[in-house]
Structure formats: structure tokens, C-alpha cells
Structure 1
């Protein structure tokens, strides 16, 4: 669909994106006050609904529109100076709004990259936020995160040290626990998402490639956590529309979910993504018609600081379309992902996909956890992404 609205904003009017001279009264959700001002830059904003189709609903004897994604287009007021647009994709917890501001009111990544001259697109993935929600009538929505998960895995792992690297986590604003205004603002953004990952992947693949074709220029996709599944699905379907795939702590670990927890705990490891990097079929060569055709083997000794991985047995099936798109992952030095992101990198390499892996600690950027694009040094990390884009 074409443009519905266009306005000039001073940032996103979120409680988390505003600050004032009287800082103590403008923290967390208090910053929604009209007295608080913004650190975001002037941005020309348009919004769209893209993709989807009409679906007949027998209960209403009529059709609805389903599987569309909400898209925000953020433009430099004087026009883009960079030739390649950026598409930001989140995991759904929180929604795409998290790219706009930080919980403590610092400049978000959207403003940073618009300021560098990029045309920026932000989506809410299907069945999250402002995107299509109709299937929740059939599939229940699942909880986004509990206080314990958020504290232990995202904002304050240093308090319980579930993996050795957690002691070095220093970059979350505030103390990272319930009752801190920045934590509470972050937790309030954790909205429910669909429990039907298969339908979500299929709809995102179609709507995502539709959006990329409408943008009209090869685009870099920037994803976070489980959102890293969607650039791979799009790369598999429409690789020629993608300039590069940039993944912050990719949360699509092959065949399993891992958290920074005891390796003997059922919570620490669970089966996931039967097709390796996704729950739905990818274009493997030789082809498969069912995920069960992928044969796997466990590689490595499993320790809290270095988790074991599921890999394909040899000879490994290849992913030729995904291999056409340059791929980079960024991992924080104090995140649980530093213990297992090697699984994703090794699996992609085994499937013929060349990758870059930027371990932030190796380039002198220390102390980051899983939500590194919201942490205190977030713009330093944004500059690393900007540099990788310009080099490619």
C-alpha cells in the first residue's frame, strides 16, 4: 500500500525517548511528560502496511486482510546521501519501536543511521505490535518475557553469573532489576507475540520480500536476536534484493534454544528450529521436503562458557541462495550469546555461507549483554555496523 501519512518528528513520542533539564523527573516512563524534551533528530516519517492478502472468514461470511506488516519509513529531511537503505527487524520482544529510542532516553539507532544519511525502514514482525494480529484467535499469544528472564539473561546477568562471562556485564543503564526506572520502561515494552512460529515465518518471508521489492534498491537488513531468522528467510527467497545481512546476537541457534544457564538444567537447552536455522523449509541443496531429512551430530564439549552445537552430518547440505548475501554477526563480550553464537556461524559455514563474526570484545568494546543496541555504548556499536556497511 502507498503512503498513508507523512509528518516531521523530533523523534518517536515514546516515554523512553525523552529527557529534560530536570533529569530526575524525566527517567523511564516519567519522560512522557510534556515538560521533557527529546534527544532524537528531526526525521521525515511515513508509515505503510505491506504484504498480506485477503482471507475469507466463515464466521463473518466475509474476508479480512491478513499477514501484512507495519512499516515505518524514516528519511533524512534533506534526503538520503547513502545509496543503500537499511531495514531493521526485531525479534518481537520488544517490537520494532525499540530501534527508535533507548530505555534511558538516549538517541536510538534509527536516529543515528538517519543522521549518517541512510533511509531507514522499521517493521513490526507479523503478529507483533501493529502488524497483523488475526491469528491470535486460533493460536494463543505467548508471553514475551518474565522479570526473571529479563534480569538474568538481558539486563543483569552479573548478579547471578549463570555463565563465566557474565561477571563482565557493565553496559546496561541503571541496575537492570525490577523497580529501576530504566528496567521498568524496558519491561513495559515486552509485548506478547504469536505462539505459531511456522505461520509467522511464512508470512514474514512473503511480506519481507514484498517490502524489499517495493523499496526498489538493494537493502541491508539489520536484525536482533530471534529476528535473525527473517533475514535468512528473505535471503533464501529474494537474495538479489538484499545487499547484506547484519545480525546482532542471532537468536536462531541451529536446532536448539540455549540460554546462559546450567547445562544440566532443562531450562538451559531445548529443541527448536527443526530445519536448522528456521522452523520452516529452507532451500537446501540437495533439497529436502521435510525437516526430519536433516541429519545432525553434536559437536564440542558442553560447558557454561562454551556450549556444544548441533551440526549437519557430512556431507552437509548447502544453502546456495543464502550464500549469495554477505552475512555478519555481532556478539557482546558479556552476553550469553558469547557462549554459543559460534554454533550459528559454524553451521552457516558448513552450509557454504561465508560469514563475518565480530566479537565486540576482540575490537575493544567490552561489557555488553544481549540487548547491546540499547546499552550505554550503543552508538559505539552502531558505528561498527556503519563501518561494516561502508566496507561492503
Structure 2
């Protein structure tokens, strides 16, 4: 006897109705997946052979893991979507949410896109690139996750935190959705210089195979499309950035009620740890003059900007760039630094503050929060404005 997909779904749905399918319970065989139907292939792109003395043999290193998802409804959009997380969680974070709802991969599959999900080199399923530095560093802790991502309102490190309402749970240790997120927080590489170098190469190798494409990236994952824009700008149709993890010349980790805590010197090339194509040419970071702008407060952070002479980023400027910021996220206090720096460097940047378009209550992991599909629709609208459909 042959069964249609709709009949199978009905039978599974009937069984699920009598079963608790909330959150992790969706793993039970009686529960129906919220993801859209798709075909899945996987590939490894980029990298190279490297001789390993301890093993007395060549091994393959620096590869980027790529999943290709094709919706059963077909592909009718001409440009694919490539999804980058920060590496924590891995690319699997685009599939569904910690409480079991449909993720962004399904949203774009439903809207006719070919979807690619990436695990960066040196983390997740990506090829390890610095074995000498093992063990890899932990990406986050319970304290950082609670204070910066899922429940910043509890410690009130900035006034906007009190507007956070969209995490699917109470956002603290022991809550099912929180625990599911923390389980997915995998170790990341300690060698950010090598990772940026290998991702620049592997990312453009992928786009040479599938491009041009739109990239959607979250947090520190936004560094890699930026480097790809510098390396192969004609292969990108646009960069969509969900609260990029870049603060010019600095790193900001976690949250604190003390404004200066957590800010450290980083990214000597302004937006990256590795050379990027400035004009006039910059051969060493010391050639970039800087100045601190603004008073540093909990509600609005100061920024490090270029001082004269200003160096622009002509290749990066060839790719349309949009940045989305949640109204209750720590990033609402400092994403203006990224926007202003890009504009200063000649990169015309669209900044969508979600609160200004009626989408309120989001913190940093907006693509996992309760209104994630509303935010995906904002991204889809921006893509339409670029390609004219």
C-alpha cells in the first residue's frame, strides 16, 4: 500500500496529539517535525592537505562544512541563501528553535530559495584548522548566555534590557528552551586569524560553485561574509547581518552593569583580525589612526572610529549591506558603532532597528525567539528591494 505525504503527516499528527511534543520532546517518534519537507545533501568546501608530524601522514585541514537544502516545493528564486551562525550553535541552529518551532531554513525553503547552511572552519562539523591549539575554547557559559542572550532583563545591564519579551521561556538555567540552547553551544577555535583566512578562501570557493548568493549571518558569523565581500564581491548579491559581533577595534563579551567590563582590544584591522582591502592601502594596522567618539554609558556605548586620513573599503562597498538590531538586545547600545564605521569607510549601510518597524522585545538570538518568522519576513522584504521582485 502506498501512502501520500499528507496521510503520513495526518497519522503522525494524530499520535502526536496524545503526546507532549514541547521542546526536546519533539524528538519522540510520535511527534511531527515543524520543519518543512526538503532534500538534503552535504559537502566539504575549501581546505588543503597538510603534513601531520605526529601521524606521519598528510591530513586534510581547513575545510568548511556545507549543507544543501532543497525544498520539495522546488526552487524558483534565482539567488540562493547562505546561512552563517556565530559557530555557537553550529549551523544546525537555522533548522529549528530550542523550543521546537520552525527555523529560518524552513522559512526560506517555503519561499522558493535554495538554502545552504555553513559550519565555519575550526568549529562544529567544519575541518579543524589548528590542532596544536586543542582543546578548543568554550564559546560561552551559563552566566554569559543568561546575561547577554536569553535574560538580560534580570540583571538590567542597560535600560533597553527591560523590554526583552521574546525568549521562549524564562531564559535561565533549568528552563527547557534555555537548556536546549546551551546544549548546542559547542567549543570554538582559538585561532581566529587562521579561521578568518580559511573562511575567506572557503567562502569564496563555495560562492564560485553556487553564486551569486545572499548571505545571512548572525553575530561573529558576520565577519566571514564581510571578508568574502572583500575577496569576491561580484559573487554576493547582499549581506544580511543579524547583530554582527564586530565592534570596531574591540570585542564585547557578555553583559555587565559596569559599561567598561567585557570590552577588550581586538580586531586591529577595524572589523577583522586579518588584513582587509583598504584604500589608501593599509599594510599594517598601525597605519589606521583612531579616535574614541561619544560618552560611554549603559544605554549608548562609545565607539572607536577612524581619524584622518580615512581609509575606505572599496570592495566591501560593492555589496549591499543591511544590519538588523533587536530593541531589547545589548546590541541596541552599540550597533551604531558598526553602522557608523562602515559608512565612514564608504560602505552604504542600511540599519533596520526592529523596534522602529513594530517588532519589539528581541535580544541577540532573534532568529530563535518567539517572533522569529516576523523578523525573517523583514529580511525577505529587504532582499526583494535589492532584486526587484
Tell me whether 141-150 or 127-136 shows the greater mean CA deviation. 127-136
Tell me whether 368-377 or 25-34 shows the greater mean CA deviation. 25-34
Distance verdict in 2 for CA 1:134–1:327, change over 3 Å: closer
What secondary structure is seen at the aligned counterpart in 1 of 2:317? helix
- 2:59 is aligned with 1:50: no
What secondary structure is seen at the aligned counterpart in 2 of 1:194? coil
Paired residues for 1:146-157 under 5 Å: 146-157=141-152
The answer as to whether partners of 2:81 and 2:214 remain within 8 angstroms in 1 is: yes
What secondary structure is seen at the aligned counterpart in 2 of 1:131? coil
Given the alignment, which residue of 7, 10, 21 partners 2:17? 21
- Counterpart for residue 296 of structure 2: 302
- 2:26 is aligned with 1:31: yes
Paired residues for 1:21-170 under 5 Å: 21-22=17-18, 25-170=20-165
Paired residues for 1:109-258 under 5 Å: 109-215=104-210, 217-258=211-252
After TM superposition, the score normalised by the length of structure 2 is: 0.93
Q: Deviations over 1:31-65 (max 9, x none)?
A: 22212211111111111011111111222222111
Report the RMSD for the aligned CA atoms in angstroms: 1.6
How many pairs were matched up? 373
- Counterpart for residue 3 of structure 1: none
- Between the aligned partners of 2:283 and 2:18, the Cα distance in structure 1 is 61
- Counterpart for residue 336 of structure 1: 330
Paired residues for 1:352-371 under 5 Å: 352-371=346-365
Q: Deviations over 1:102-146 (max 9, x none)?
A: 011111000000000000000001111111125233354111111
Q: CA deviation at 1:358?
A: 0.1
The answer as to whether partners of 1:50 and 1:207 remain within 8 angstroms in 2 is: yes
- Between the aligned partners of 1:280 and 1:291, the Cα distance in structure 2 is 9
Given the alignment, which residue of 275, 282, 285 partners 1:291? 285
The answer as to whether partners of 1:28 and 1:184 remain within 8 angstroms in 2 is: no
Q: CA deviation at 1:30?
A: 3.0
- Counterpart for residue 373 of structure 2: 379
After TM superposition, the score normalised by the length of structure 1 is: 0.92
**Which ranges in structure 2 are unaligned for 5 or more consecutive residues?**
7-14
Tell me whether 255-264 or 88-97 shows the greater mean CA deviation. 255-264
- Between the aligned partners of 1:343 and 1:158, the Cα distance in structure 2 is 23
The answer as to whether partners of 2:24 and 2:99 remain within 8 angstroms in 1 is: no
- Between the aligned partners of 2:129 and 2:385, the Cα distance in structure 1 is 42
- Between the aligned partners of 2:190 and 2:311, the Cα distance in structure 1 is 29
- Between the aligned partners of 2:265 and 2:111, the Cα distance in structure 1 is 41
Q: Deviations over 1:308-346 (max 9, x none)?
A: 000010221010000000000000000000000000000
- Counterpart for residue 315 of structure 1: 309
The answer as to whether partners of 1:124 and 1:130 remain within 8 angstroms in 2 is: yes
- Between the aligned partners of 1:139 and 1:272, the Cα distance in structure 2 is 22
- Counterpart for residue 12 of structure 2: none
**Which ranges in structure 1 are unaligned for 5 or more consecutive residues?**
1-8, 11-18
The answer as to whether partners of 1:89 and 1:223 remain within 8 angstroms in 2 is: yes
The answer as to whether partners of 2:157 and 2:258 remain within 8 angstroms in 1 is: no
